[in-house]
Protein backbone atom coordinates (compact mmCIF):
# COMPACT_ATOMS: atom_id res chain seq x y z
CA UNK A 1 0.00 0.00 0.00
CA UNK A 2 1.45 3.34 -1.06
CA UNK A 3 0.73 6.31 1.17
CA UNK A 4 3.03 8.84 -0.48
CA UNK A 5 1.56 12.26 -1.00
CA UNK A 6 1.54 13.51 -4.54
CA UNK A 7 1.46 17.03 -5.93
CA UNK A 8 -0.77 16.54 -8.95
CA UNK A 9 -0.54 20.22 -9.90
CA UNK A 10 3.25 19.99 -10.19
CA UNK A 11 3.00 16.78 -12.20
CA UNK A 12 0.44 18.37 -14.53
CA UNK A 13 2.88 21.21 -15.20
CA UNK A 14 5.63 18.71 -16.06
CA UNK A 15 3.27 16.82 -18.37
CA UNK A 16 2.25 20.08 -20.05
CA UNK A 17 5.89 20.81 -20.82
CA UNK A 18 6.41 17.30 -22.21
CA UNK A 19 3.33 17.41 -24.46
CA UNK A 20 4.15 20.95 -25.62
CA UNK A 21 7.71 19.84 -26.45
CA UNK A 22 6.32 16.93 -28.48
CA UNK A 23 4.12 19.33 -30.44
CA UNK A 24 6.87 21.90 -30.97
CA UNK A 25 9.35 19.25 -32.11
CA UNK A 26 6.88 17.84 -34.60
CA UNK A 27 6.03 21.30 -35.93
CA UNK A 28 9.73 22.20 -36.22
CA UNK A 29 10.59 19.03 -38.15
CA UNK A 30 7.59 19.48 -40.44
CA UNK A 31 8.58 23.07 -41.24
CA UNK A 32 12.25 22.19 -41.77
CA UNK A 33 11.36 19.34 -44.12
CA UNK A 34 9.13 21.63 -46.14
CA UNK A 35 11.84 24.27 -46.45
CA UNK A 36 14.59 21.83 -47.44
CA UNK A 37 14.99 21.30 -51.17
CA UNK A 38 13.46 18.02 -52.19
CA UNK A 39 15.19 15.53 -54.41
CA UNK A 40 13.98 15.10 -57.95
CA UNK A 41 13.15 11.44 -57.53
CA UNK A 42 10.21 11.07 -55.22
CA UNK A 43 9.06 7.84 -53.65
CA UNK A 44 5.74 6.34 -54.70
CA UNK A 45 3.21 7.86 -52.28
CA UNK A 46 0.92 4.82 -52.43
CA UNK A 47 3.15 2.72 -50.20
CA UNK A 48 3.65 5.57 -47.76
CA UNK A 49 -0.12 6.18 -47.63
CA UNK A 50 -0.77 2.51 -46.88
CA UNK A 51 1.86 2.51 -44.12
CA UNK A 52 0.58 5.77 -42.63
CA UNK A 53 -3.04 4.59 -42.67
CA UNK A 54 -2.03 1.23 -41.20
CA UNK A 55 -0.04 2.95 -38.46
CA UNK A 56 -2.96 5.19 -37.64
CA UNK A 57 -5.46 2.35 -37.44
CA UNK A 58 -3.14 0.18 -35.32
CA UNK A 59 -2.31 3.04 -32.97
CA UNK A 60 -5.98 3.92 -32.49
CA UNK A 61 -6.67 0.30 -31.60
CA UNK A 62 -3.65 0.12 -29.32
CA UNK A 63 -4.64 3.41 -27.70
CA UNK A 64 -8.13 2.15 -26.91
CA UNK A 65 -6.89 -1.18 -25.52
CA UNK A 66 -4.04 0.49 -23.59
CA UNK A 67 -6.41 2.93 -21.91
CA UNK A 68 -8.84 0.20 -20.85
CA UNK A 69 -6.09 -2.09 -19.57
CA UNK A 70 -4.22 0.65 -17.69
CA UNK A 71 -7.40 1.90 -16.01
CA UNK A 72 -8.64 -1.62 -15.19
CA UNK A 73 -5.28 -2.67 -13.72
CA UNK A 74 -5.15 0.45 -11.56
CA UNK A 75 -8.75 -0.13 -10.43
CA UNK A 76 -7.94 -3.76 -9.49
CA UNK A 77 -4.81 -2.70 -7.63
CA UNK A 78 -6.75 -0.10 -5.65
CA UNK A 79 -9.45 -2.62 -4.80
CA UNK A 80 -6.95 -5.25 -3.68
CA UNK A 81 -4.54 -3.17 -1.58
CA UNK A 82 -6.60 -0.09 -0.71
CA UNK A 83 -3.85 2.33 -1.69
CA UNK A 84 -4.18 6.07 -2.12
CA UNK A 85 -6.39 6.55 -5.20
CA UNK A 86 -4.97 10.00 -5.95
CA UNK A 87 -1.43 8.58 -6.05
CA UNK A 88 -2.42 5.59 -8.21
CA UNK A 89 -4.45 7.70 -10.64
CA UNK A 90 -1.60 10.22 -10.88
CA UNK A 91 0.76 7.42 -11.94
CA UNK A 92 -1.59 6.03 -14.57
CA UNK A 93 -2.50 9.52 -15.81
CA UNK A 94 1.14 10.45 -16.32
CA UNK A 95 1.92 7.19 -18.15
CA UNK A 96 -1.24 7.36 -20.23
CA UNK A 97 -0.61 10.98 -21.26
CA UNK A 98 3.01 10.40 -22.28
CA UNK A 99 2.24 7.21 -24.21
CA UNK A 100 -0.78 8.79 -25.94
CA UNK A 101 1.25 11.85 -26.88
CA UNK A 102 4.07 9.71 -28.25
CA UNK A 103 1.63 7.70 -30.36
CA UNK A 104 0.15 10.85 -31.87
CA UNK A 105 3.58 12.40 -32.40
CA UNK A 106 4.81 9.27 -34.18
CA UNK A 107 2.03 9.47 -36.76
CA UNK A 108 2.69 13.19 -37.26
CA UNK A 109 6.43 12.72 -37.71
CA UNK A 110 5.88 9.88 -40.17
CA UNK A 111 3.48 12.06 -42.16
CA UNK A 112 6.00 14.92 -42.24
CA UNK A 113 8.75 12.62 -43.51
CA UNK A 114 6.38 11.02 -46.03
CA UNK A 115 5.44 14.47 -47.37
CA UNK A 116 9.13 15.25 -47.83
CA UNK A 117 10.30 12.05 -49.49
CA UNK A 118 7.20 11.67 -51.69
CA UNK A 119 6.92 15.34 -52.65
CA UNK A 120 3.25 15.05 -51.71
CA UNK A 121 1.84 17.78 -49.48
CA UNK A 122 -1.30 15.77 -48.78
CA UNK A 123 0.71 13.85 -46.17
CA UNK A 124 0.89 17.08 -44.13
CA UNK A 125 -2.59 16.23 -42.92
CA UNK A 126 -0.94 13.71 -40.57
CA UNK A 127 1.05 16.28 -38.56
CA UNK A 128 -2.04 18.51 -38.41
CA UNK A 129 -4.19 15.67 -37.08
CA UNK A 130 -1.42 14.66 -34.67
CA UNK A 131 -1.30 18.23 -33.38
CA UNK A 132 -5.05 18.09 -32.72
CA UNK A 133 -4.57 14.75 -30.92
CA UNK A 134 -1.84 16.30 -28.76
CA UNK A 135 -4.23 19.10 -27.86
CA UNK A 136 -6.84 16.52 -26.92
CA UNK A 137 -4.47 14.69 -24.54
CA UNK A 138 -2.99 17.96 -23.21
CA UNK A 139 -3.05 17.50 -19.41
CA UNK A 140 -5.51 19.68 -17.48
CA UNK A 141 -7.06 19.45 -14.04
CA UNK A 142 -10.36 18.49 -15.67
CA UNK A 143 -8.76 15.63 -17.57
CA UNK A 144 -7.10 14.41 -14.39
CA UNK A 145 -10.48 14.52 -12.61
CA UNK A 146 -12.07 12.62 -15.49
CA UNK A 147 -9.30 9.99 -15.33
CA UNK A 148 -9.80 9.74 -11.55
CA UNK A 149 -13.50 9.13 -12.04
CA UNK A 150 -12.91 6.58 -14.82
CA UNK A 151 -10.49 4.62 -12.64
CA UNK A 152 -12.17 4.84 -9.23
CA UNK A 153 -15.81 5.26 -10.21
CA UNK A 154 -16.04 8.27 -7.90
CA UNK A 155 -15.63 11.96 -8.64
CA UNK A 156 -12.38 13.58 -7.54
CA UNK A 157 -12.97 15.18 -4.11
CA UNK A 158 -12.92 18.97 -4.23
CA UNK A 159 -10.03 19.04 -1.76
CA UNK A 160 -7.88 16.95 -4.16
CA UNK A 161 -8.29 19.14 -7.26
CA UNK A 162 -4.87 20.17 -8.58
CA UNK A 163 -3.81 23.74 -7.87
Domain count, the chain: 1
Domain that holds residue 140: 8-23+43-154
Q: Is 74 within a domain? A: yes
Amino acid 40: pLDDT: 65
Q: Is 134 within a domain? A: yes
Residue 136 predicted with pLDDT over 90? yes
Tell me the pLDDT band of 26, cut-offs 50, 70 and 90.
Answer: very high
Q: Is 146 within a domain? A: yes
What CA dihedral angle connects 73, 74, 80 and 83, to 10 degrees?
A: 160
Q: Is 83 within a domain? A: yes
Nearest to 74 by CA among 65, 86, 62, 60: 86
Q: Is 111 within a domain? A: yes
Residue 52 predicted with pLDDT over 70? yes
Amino acid 83: pLDDT: 81
Tell me the pLDDT band of 1, cut-offs 50, 70 and 90.
Answer: very low
Alpha helices (runs of H) in 36-162, residue ranges in sequence order: 45-81, 85-118, 125-137, 141-152
Across 121-145, average pLDDT: 95
Alpha-carbon distance of 21 to 106, in angstroms, equals 13
Beta carbons of 128 and 45 less than 8 angstroms apart: no
Q: Is 1 within a domain? A: no
Residue 129 predicted with pLDDT over 50? yes
Amino acid 158: pLDDT: 83
Q: Is 29 within a domain? A: no
Q: Is 91 within a domain? A: yes
* Average pLDDT of the chain, as a whole number: 91
Tell me the pLDDT band of 27, cut-offs 50, 70 and 90.
Answer: very high
Amino acid sequence: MNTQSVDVGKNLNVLRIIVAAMAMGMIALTVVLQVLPSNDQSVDPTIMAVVLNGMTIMELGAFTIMRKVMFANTRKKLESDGGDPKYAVNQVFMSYTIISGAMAEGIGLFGAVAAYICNERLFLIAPAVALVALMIVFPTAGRFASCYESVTGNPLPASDWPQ
